[in-house]
Structure 1
Amino acid sequence: MFDKIRYRNQVCWNAIILGHCIHGNPADGLELFTDTVDRCKVGGEEGISPDEISFVGVLSDCAWARLVTEGRNYFSQMKNKFVIKPNFAHYWCMANIYVGAELSREAEEILRQMSDCVEDLSSDSVLWANLLISCRFREGATFGERIATSLIEKEPKNLSYYQLLMNVYGVAGQWEDAARVKQLMKDRGIELLGVIL
């Protein structure tokens, strides 16, 4: 379907990049990301500058493939080249990249940085991030799932908590659970990218 789309917009590119990660093909997602950035550089008709959602997909791909160096590079590009301020999801993905490589200190440090850098973090998000740091990710996706589920129970219309839960599942490779969250969002009328799912 993607190949048949004549004029591809940002939503198309983001969907296919994250879709590759969801289906266990992170290398293909990263290749498509590079392709779209290259098209943007040369001013191609389909060139789309990546946005914050593009980088959630790319960092999820890196976490899935355990690409630490690449993840660091993309995170740096996002901030410095594309001037996109990281949000909770980006820091969460980076922490999972480090955890996958058994770099728990780096994972702790990136979550500490998040508390200082993300302006729109609620006090709950900071609390949960600190709990993640203290547990040193020993419980993996199970712990992240409990955190996100608790936040959703408190604020069932907060989109960022659903995104957090989908990221937790995505990084853990639990694609059926991620799909279940998407369906829950649709059932509850939660909007993603301005479109009701």
Structure 2
Amino acid sequence: MKTEKEKMLAGEAYLASDNELFEEHSRCRELLMQLNQTTRHSDTWKSTLESLLPNRVDLPQINPPFYCDYGSNIIFGKNFYANYNCTVLDVNTVEFGDNVMLAPNVQIYTAGHPLDVKQRVEEGVEFGLPIKIGHNVWIGGGAIVCPGVSIGDNTVIGAGSVVTKDIPANVLAAGNPCRVLKELHQ
């Protein structure tokens, strides 16, 4: 039988009230409080970021405040940059390629909730779908990336976009819902 964490990472319905998940989430909250109360160039910042985000090639460049659910489900490539007020709800994996840039207020959500009110409210069921963001991607300010989405290499997502479906490589995409506006020649 799978644990609630195993269900969560498999994209299955799980109970967020699970003790193991609660403890991991609480640990993350404590680290985020430390991180968001320090400056980006302090020793405390570096050690806290290393503890919070263990799956990385090099230390990501993140301007506080930064928010996430667990931190351990985020995978960073080289040369990652996130500007102020980035939120990554990582109840499933979020994978960033190399040279990804996030403008201020970008929100990345792997978390979802059932449409059925009984499951959602009475039973407390949630689910999460993985997100994959390719190499050399730039996501504009205030964009939202929804559960289960992939964004291809060298793509630019316009500010304020709501990405509800996969976006291919080498394009400029924007809007709500986000759609391809033009191809980018690399």
- Alignment TM-score > 0.5, same fold: no
Give me the TM-score of the superposition, normalised by structure 2: 0.26
Q: Identify, as 1 or 2, the structure richer in helix.
A: 1
